[in-house]
């Protein structure tokens, strides 16, 4: 169950609409090849962009996984997001004209890189491109709002349950296995991202497994009882309520989590 071998289909990728505008599958194939570099290999541990570097491109994860991080004053890394096949990297640069975070590959990976600065498009094409870009930005905002609206007084148990459900939903959205997958990140990275102690993450994963909610072997993970996991997460019966947790959500949870992670 090697995570890095799962490649997302083009039509399930967040970049697909923008690729169509610049010529994918049309007579403008030459222009498309000038704008989009496809399936660039990225070695595990390699960075695709650095914080504060000038914004030039949007990256779509074709295979593998990445983490976004901030460097703290003491030199440590604070993880603010994970990126999986079909998801986009670098969208924050659209507004700021520079990348907001460093982004490093968690596994051997590949990306499609779209050069978005100084695109040579007709006015009609530019309007369509901006519409697709706005849709991508809206999806990102939705991910950043979901958990904040769903969580009242969070606990570490609820937070980890939401994290696992969020992964499942994100994989399903891109046509990847949603209930049986290999975690591309280690428990230390999960703990860092969620603002929990490493021991807390390990203890809760073991508890969920002993309760028959999940099974975990190394990083191979199966959600065995999604209904019970949703109960732990405090979600309603509607599957649409599950939202992935990203940087804004996690940062908003940390004050409460600090009181529950001991």
pLDDT in tens, 61-117: 999 999 999 999 998 999 989 999 999 999 999 889 999 999 999 999 999 999 988
- Pair (126, 157) in one structural domain: no
Question: Does residue 208 surpass a pLDDT of 70?
Answer: yes
The per-residue pLDDT for 241 is 39
Total domains, the chain: 2
Same domain? For 126 and 231 the reply is: no
Instruction: Indicate whether 194 pLDDT > 80.
Output: yes
150 with 224, same domain: the answer is yes
pLDDT of residue 251: 43
Residues 107 and 205 in one domain: no
The answer, yes or no, to whether residue 247 has pLDDT greater than 80, is no
Q: Is 11 in the same domain as 131? A: yes
- The answer to whether 60 touches 15, Cβ cutoff 8 Å, is yes
Instruction: Identify whether residues 123 and 169 lie together within a single domain.
Output: no
pLDDT at 3: 56
pLDDT bin (cut points 50, 70, 90) of residue 211 is very high
Token output for 144: 């950043």
Which of these ranges, 141-155, 202-216, 236-250, has the smallest mean pLDDT?
236-250
pLDDT for the residue numbered 256: 38
- Between residues 142 and 172, which one has the greater pLDDT? 172
74: containing domain: 3-138
- The number of beta carbons lying within 10 Å of the beta carbon of residue 68 is 25
- Which of 138, 169, 195 terminates a domain? The answer is 138
pLDDT at residue 203 above 60?
Answer: yes
Domain boundary (117, 138, 159) is at 138
Boundary-marking domain end, from 71, 106, 138: 138
pLDDT of residue 112: 95
Q: What is the CA radius of gyration of the chain?
A: 19
Residue 187 and residue 255 in one domain = yes
Residue 41 has pLDDT above 80, yes or no: yes
Q: Is 157 in the same domain as 245?
A: yes
The pLDDT confidence band at residue 2, using thresholds 50, 70 and 90, is low
Residues in the chain: 262
- Per-residue pLDDT at 110: 96
| CA-to-CA separations, 9 to 14, 105, 117, in angstroms, rounded | 10, 20, 25
CA angle 68-262-144, nearest 5°? 30
Q: Are residues 100 and 159 in the same domain?
A: no
Q: What is the mean pLDDT of residues 149-167?
A: 77
As a whole number, the mean pLDDT across the chain is 84
pLDDT at residue 6, rounded to an integer: 74
What CATH number is attached to the domain comprising 157? 1.10.10.10
Say if residue 78 is in the same domain as residue 134.
yes
Question: How far, in Å, CA of 197 to CA of 84, rounded?
Answer: 24
Mean predicted confidence (pLDDT) in 110-132: 89
Kindly state whether residues 250 and 155 are assigned to the same domain.
Answer: yes
Mean pLDDT value across residues 138-155: 61
Indicate the pLDDT class of residue 33, thresholds 50, 70 and 90. Answer: confident
Same domain, 129 and 41: yes
């Amino acid at each position: 169950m090697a995570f890095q071998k799962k490649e997302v289909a083009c039509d399930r990728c967040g970049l697909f609409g923008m690729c169509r505008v610049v010529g994918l599958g049309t007579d403008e194939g030459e222009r498309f090849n000038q704008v989009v570099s496809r399936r660039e290999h990225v070695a595990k541990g390699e960075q695709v962009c650095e914080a504060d570097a000038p914004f030039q491109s949007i990256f779509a994860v074709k295979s593998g996984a990445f983490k976004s991080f901030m460097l703290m004053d003491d030199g440590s890394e604070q993880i603010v997001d994970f990126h999986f096949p079909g998801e986009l990297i670098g969208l924050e640069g659209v507004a700021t004209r520079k990348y907001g975070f460093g982004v490093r590959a968690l596994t051997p990976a590949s990306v499609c890189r779209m050069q978005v600065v100084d695109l040579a498009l007709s006015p009609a094409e530019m309007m369509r491109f901006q519409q697709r870009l706005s849709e991508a930005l809206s999806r990102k905002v939705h991910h950043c709002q979901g958990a904040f609206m769903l969580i009242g007084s969070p606990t570490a148990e609820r937070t980890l349950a939401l994290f696992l459900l969020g992964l499942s939903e994100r994989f399903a959205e891109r046509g990847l296995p949603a209930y049986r997958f290999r975690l591309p990140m280690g428990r230390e990275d999960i703990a860092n991202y969620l603002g929990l102690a490493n021991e807390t993450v390990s203890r809760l994963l073991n508890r969920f497994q002993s309760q028959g909610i999940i099974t975990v072997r190394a990083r191979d993970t199966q959600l065995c009882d999604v209904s019970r996991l949703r109960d732990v997460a405090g979600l309603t019966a509607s599957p649409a309520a599950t939202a992935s947790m990203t940087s804004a959500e996690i940062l908003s949870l940390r004050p409460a989590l600090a009181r529950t992670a001991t």
